[in-house]
Amino acid sequence: MKLLYALLGKGIYSTSDTSAFVHLEKAYVGKRYSDTQLIFEATLYLENVLNYENHIAHALLNSDANQHGFTCAICLTRPFSRGQITLKSNDPFDHPTIDQKYLEDERDKKKTDWRDTCMGEAY
């Protein structure tokens, strides 16, 4: 991706973005960290540079290069859900089993409800 930008001035590095860190829960106010990050980018992604699953990428990505817009992402910075990494076998060259357990905790699901409402209003 860096090479694409260096040679052609195109790709993910050819746009700027901005972020905001916010507290969705009052319990987090005054602590050193926020619980949510809002990311805004002045681009419509035309290819799957963010490594989405194929069905998600197809739904999100626009194939018309003449359209303009922006991308907004909302991320939980301190999720309650915890995944795990375990050994798949005794073979040290075997890849581990990674279970992310995204949104397993109901408190995280509650925050994504807010995200879905916010994004629904934006679009």
What value does the mean pLDDT of the chain take? Answer: 78
Rounded to whole angstroms, how far apart are CA atoms 73 and 60?
12
pTM: 0.58
Per-residue pLDDT band for 67 (boundaries 50, 70, 90) equals low
CB 24 within 8 A of CB 36: yes
pLDDT tens digits, 69-103: 777 778 888 889 999 999 999 999 999 999 999 88
CB 21 within 8 A of CB 77: yes
Q: What is the mean pLDDT of residues 44-56?
A: 67
CB 13 within 8 A of CB 5: yes
User: Which residue carries 């050193």 as its tokens?
Assistant: 32
The pLDDT assigned to 84 comes to 96
Cβ neighbours of residue 11 closer than 8 Å, sequence gap 6 or more: 1, 4, 5, 49
